[in-house]
Amino acid sequence: MKQGVLLLFLILISFQGLPQCDQLVSQECIPKLGTFTDIGKKNIAVLLPGDTAEIGVTFFRAHQYRVVVSAQQELGKVSFRLLDDKSGAVLFDSKTYNSPKFWDFNVQATQNVTIQLIVPKVPATQVAQTGCVALLVGFKGTGN
């Protein structure tokens, strides 16, 4: 019974946070897509400090992509990594580049990738707050 109540509580918290998450997408993510076309999938999550979310994406050959990540300020500097699904190799780690808000890259061969969104931990003396994290992916044809 306790688990059911906890699950319901978490669902309610998530739904209450969604309007703020939609605002984050429209005000922060979409403008950063620039001339890239949104793939049409909005990935949003309400996370706590120390959480990691994973999203699977297929990137297709002969396209240029932009991955955009935004988070509410209370979560701190959220980082992201792209991992090759076959090998598990890290293709990109935003921490290496001072956690940019987006990353552009070209794809030579179609591949499945896992994008990890990583929320930094907070000190034990600080109260952990939930916040929205949003991920958008845009593309352009490269003409190949």
Strand partners, 138: 38, 66
The span from the CA of 112 to the CA of 34, in Å, is: 24
Cβ proximity of 39 and 60 under 8 Å: no
Residue 38 has what pLDDT?
A: 92
Amino acid at 39: I
Phi then psi for residue 22, to 5 deg, are: -60, -40
Tokens 């319901």 locate to 8
pLDDT tens sequence across 3-46 = 433 333 344 444 445 677 888 888 889 999 999 999 988 889 89
Residue 6 has what pLDDT?
A: 36
Hey, how many other C-beta atoms are within 10 angstroms of the C-beta on 74?
13
| Model confidence at 126: pLDDT above 50 | yes
pLDDT-derived band at 109, boundaries 50, 70, 90: very high
Amino acid at 37: T
Least confident stretch, 30-39, 75-84, 102-111, 124-133: 124-133
Q: What is the pTM of this model?
A: 0.82
pLDDT tens sequence across 114-123 = 999 999 998 8
pLDDT tens sequence across 61-83 = 999 999 999 999 889 999 999 99
Angle at CA 71, nearest 5°, toward 65 and 73?
145
Over residues 88-102, the mean pLDDT reads 92
For the domain spanning 2-141, the CATH number is 2.60.120.380
Q: Which long-range contacts (CB under 8 A, 24 or more apart) does 95-101 make?
A: 101/28, 101/32, 101/68, 101/69, 101/70
Q: Which tokens belong to 142?
A: 């490269």
Phi then psi for residue 30, to 5 deg, are: -55, -45
